Amino acid sequence: MKYAWIENGQVRDVCPGNPAEHYTPQVAAFYNTEVEDHIQMGATFVADKWTNPEPVTIELPPMPALPKLWTASDIRSAMSLLERVKWDNDQSGMIVTAKLEFASAQTAEMIAPVLQMLVDSGDITQETMNKVLA
């Protein structure tokens, strides 16, 4: 058996053992009702017996979808072999700048202008840009 602190007809707290061994005498005095071991905080006294509260279920809202992020390797993987050779050998200043821009993962809105710059400079094709953004 355990001892409970009862307040307004409801179990405020349950002591795991002898209240005098767990609390100061001033606090232990509140644990003055003997209850069965299965009684929990929030139990109420109904029809001559203690009844535990219904379990609370919390439904969390679904997590919002995170925007897709692209890395330099994602972009490189969409390139043709010739484009990858240019990319790997930094054959233009545009590629060097693009690699700096893609040093951290970026959203589509952030990479689109950089990809367009690479298309305009002839370092990648429009088809490659479309493939990356698909």
Q: Tokens in use for 69?
A: 């992020």
**Segment 12-36, tens digit of pLDDT:** 999 988 999 999 999 999 999 999 9
**Alpha-carbon span 67 to 25, nearest angstrom:** 58
C-alpha dist (Å) from residue 19 to 29, 55, 94, 104, 108: 8, 26, 75, 58, 62
Three-state DSSP class for residue 103: coil
- Average pLDDT of 83-103? 93
Q: Helices (H), strands (E): how many in the chain?
A: 7, 5
Give the mean pLDDT of 46-59: 90
- The rounded percent of the chain whose pLDDT value lies above 90 is 87
pLDDT-based confidence at residue 47 (cuts at 50, 70, 90): confident
Predicted TM-score (pTM) of the model is: 0.54
